[in-house]
Structure 1
Amino acid sequence: MKLGLHLSQQTWPNGPSGFRTDLAQVARGADEAGFGYLSVMDHFFQIQAYGPPEHDMLEGWTTLGFLAAHTSRVKLLTLVSGVHYRHPGLLAKTATTLDVLSGGRAILGIGAGWNEEESRGLGFRFPPLKERFELLEDTLRYVRQMWADGAEPFTGNHVTAERLLNVPQPLQRPHPPIMIGGSGEKKTLRLVAQYGDLCNLLPGPDLQRKLDVLKQHCEDVGRDYAEITKTAAVRLDLGERGEKTGALLDELGRLADLGFHAATGWAHGVPDPAVLERFATDVIPAADRL
């Protein structure tokens, strides 16, 4: 079981003037501790689960470029990018650039998007749900084609392009892994089966059913279910003195028994370096054995 550190909370004690130092320290700490993934939000306002919209929120892909410069091993991703925020060509080029400059460590995290408040607040168009899912499938087809050899035109439901030229190509071949976020059984998990390399599911009593649905979608499209890395969102909370470590390891064991390969979440107490040191000694070695 691999762990992913998700930097969903950026209102830190040192404020914006300390971001550069604090983020670099967290990135190095996560890399050295053995986290498998390091992710950031792709939001422009903070979301309700972590605080009011006025809390600090850095732009995700720019932040990943900074994190890449301070790490050497950990995989880097947004968890996840709303499909309506960027044209597919810009998104594919951005992910390509991150993959090249990180030495082949980029993951494209993408989903249908949901935060109407920030979209309307900043003037982004917020299409109806049906259109966002159509755009998501367009984007998944588009990026996979742009990351393939050749420079053919593209036609989708909402996107057309004359020449999907991409030079340089990503270092990871055939392409950077694609994580599709969300757990909708009819649309999202079908797209995971058809186009995804990773999924990310929310915790809950229905996780086994979600995996069964994904497996059925894989059978329907002729995909090997075992090829897909299953990840789940968890809260990585060890407690103030490590008193919650056992409970976290029990939850990771439960997820591993269900067939999950990784768990990603916010670690309470970051950016305090002692938090990541506790993960390095007390959690990650045990999780690796699950």
Structure 2
Amino acid sequence: MPERAPLFGIGGSTAVAEVTDTLRLAEQADCDGLDLFTVSDHPYFGDRLDSYAMIGVVLGRTARIAGLVSVTNLPSRPAPMLARTVTSLAALSGGRIVLGMGAGGLWDDIARLGAARLGPAAAVRALEEGITLVRALSGGGAPVTFDGEFYRVTELTPAPVPAVPVWTGSGGPKSLAVTGRVADGWMPGHAADWLSGRYRDSRPVIDEAAAAVGRDPGDIVTVYNLPGRITAEPLAATRDEEGRWLGGSARQWVDELTGAVLEHNAAGFVYFPVGDTPTAVAAGRWANEIAPAVREAVAART
């Protein structure tokens, strides 16, 4: 049984051309009681907004919702400065920030920013160092000296702000093990959900790595990115031939997500509208019909 109420979020665009609609979506999500507003991080594309600038503006225009960059492109954002960014946003927003962390994927694009190109194994080691250093530079305390393979700081004073939760988008076995050792949550890639082979194969790696260092695997949440249609009428099939979630009526969504929480320990869902329904309409159904009903159903059975 879940120990915490499931989180509900929505994903927004970082396209410069869509900034007005994205800010309106974030403000409405806040008013409607959603928990998370997320954006991706692709700083090498000139037609995209900087994700942390976007989250900063969103947090300044909202009162309740938390911001999440899903996930931070670590090679383009050195860990010591990333620590200063997230602790600053936490202080400015009353703690309404979650740190999403990724090892980096589009290396040709990342290299165009001037960042050093890393191989897969090195990128994973840098991810673990980065998470460790961000945590060390949070929560006050004595100055930090860190002499790692990728990051080195000397007598750097931590921010007097508690460390924020860290969720990864890990995919390979080594990065999944990093999640188990040092992270607080996991967001499976490629919109994989609780019935996918990716989840079944990956979550045990996280749990085993957590247990190996004395952590409780149950403390590491799984939050899903979930695209889909929200239809006026029920669909005959809510999943395709490969088992991928397509969507359905609000009731079909509620039944599916309630089962995901109660039977598969899902900790939360970030919705990405697809199809012909206007984003504002789909987001309203998500926030006002589906999320409250799932929360109520879960609370009634726990």
Coarse TM-score class (shorter-chain normalised): 0.7 to 0.9
Give the secondary structure class of the aligned counterpart of 2:223. strand
TM-score by length of 1: 0.84
How do residues 109-124 of structure 1 correspond to structure 2 at under 5 angstroms?
Answer: 109-124=100-115
Give the residue type in structure 2 aligned to 1:282: E
Match of 1:44 in 2: 43
Alignment partners' CA distance in 1, 2:151 and 2:78: 9
Alignment partners' CA distance in 1, 2:56 and 2:286: 24
Which one scores higher on RCO, CA 8 angstroms, separation ≥ 6? 1
Q: Does 1:234 align with 2:226?
A: yes
Q: Does 1:179 align with 2:167?
A: yes
Match of 1:65 in 2: 56
Match of 1:261 in 2: 267
Q: 1:155 to 1:10 in 2, by over 3 A?
A: closer
Gaps of 5+ in 2: 1-5, 235-247
Give the residue type in structure 2 aligned to 1:64: I
Match of 2:183 in 1: 196
Deviation at 1:117?
3.6
Gaps of 5+ in 1: 47-53
Deviation at 1:205?
2.8
TM-score by length of 2: 0.81
Q: Give the one of 285, 291, 294 matched to 1:278.
A: 285
Runs of 4+ deviating beyond 4 Å: 269-272
Match of 2:22 in 1: 23
How do residues 234-253 of structure 1 correspond to structure 2 at under 5 angstroms?
Answer: 234-239=226-231, 241=232, 244-245=248-249, 246-253=251-258
Deviation at 1:102?
1.1
Check whether the contact 1:182–1:200 (CA below 8 A) recurs between aligned residues.
Answer: yes
Alignment partners' CA distance in 1, 2:42 and 2:217: 30
Match of 1:51 in 2: none
Check whether the contact 2:226–2:269 (CA below 8 A) recurs between aligned residues.
Answer: yes
Q: 1:45 to 1:165 in 2, by over 3 A?
A: same
Check whether the contact 1:28–1:71 (CA below 8 A) recurs between aligned residues.
Answer: yes
The two structures, once aligned, show a CA RMSD in angstroms of: 2.3
Q: 1:133 to 1:206 in 2, by over 3 A?
A: closer
